[in-house]
Amino acid sequence: VGMHKTGTTSIQNSLKSFENDTFVYARLGNNPNHSVQIYSLFADSPERHPLNENRRNAPGGMAAYLESVGRDLANSISLAGSRTLLISGELIGYLDEAGLAKLRDRLAPHFESVEIVAYVRAPLSYMTSAFQQMVRGGRRTVLGFDRLYRSYRDSFEKFDRVFGRSNVSLWKYDRGTFAGGDVVQDFCGRIGLDLGARAVEVVNESKTTREMIALMFQYNR
């Protein structure tokens, strides 16, 4: 379930369409990031999310999308059978407790347990990375670092309440402790998934220098 800026895109792209005797990666449309799909299915007002703007404005667009995602989720559950089904999306962490309870109740009848895992990035590191991404995307014209801070308790405590503390694992995101600095291999190692000869896809990693960020920030302004 995230956080953002913890290598989730690399994990998702590396596991897209993956399946073996033990694991199946959910196929919810063509995007291996299940954020919008799961959020939309279980949020009270999914049409309000900016990523659903096009569907909100199209006649029947939101209803058709929810029907399609619901069908894809049912198919993924059926495909998993007795195997572990993997779902990955940072926006899942933005569901409220009612939405998370709906997600739990949707999955619970089909699996022995539902486990939540998240990489957690230290505040300074998270805020720095988020700021850089916003600047690179042309969306940051003021500093306002206080607005970049994310409440860790608000983000994760609700999972304890909905799924049970013993079913929630928070892992420190520190590439210096990962084998080869690779979060994909670290994730797979933690859950016992053998990628075999499958190539790891490193996606969305920033090589931007401080000087480059400063220049882009001034250009945005």
Residue 54 half-sphere exposure toward CB, CA atoms < 13 A:
3
Q: How confident is the model at residue 79 (pLDDT cuts 50, 70, 90)?
A: very high
pLDDT at residue 191 in the model: 96
The two three-digit tokens of residue 188, written as one number = 């797979």
3-state secondary structure of 176: helix
Residue 204 has pLDDT above 70, yes or no: no
pLDDT at residue 205 in the model: 64
Give 84-112 as a DSSP string: EEE---GGGGGS-HHHHHHHHHHHGGGSS
Average of per-residue pLDDT across 129-141: 85
Asked whether the bond before 3 is cis by omega within 30 degrees of 0, the reply is yes
Residue 67 has pLDDT above 80, yes or no: yes
Residue 203 has pLDDT above 80, yes or no: no
pLDDT at residue 122 in the model: 92
Give 113-161 as a DSSP string: ---EEEEE--HHHHHHHHHHHHHHTT---S--GGGG---HHHHHHHHHH
pLDDT at residue 144 in the model: 81
Question: Euclidean distance between the first and final Cα of the chain, in Å?
Answer: 33
The answer to whether the CB of 69 falls within 8 A of the CB of 40 is yes
Residue 184 has pLDDT above 70, yes or no: yes
Distance CA(39)–CA(43), nearest Å, equals 6
Residue 94 has pLDDT above 90, yes or no: yes
Distance CA(196)–CA(208), nearest Å, equals 32
Higher pLDDT, 164 or 213: 164
pLDDT at residue 182 in the model: 92
The two three-digit tokens of residue 163, written as one number = 């799924």
3-state secondary structure of 25: strand
b/e 64-76 (16+ beta carbons within 10 angstroms → b): ebbeebeebbeeb
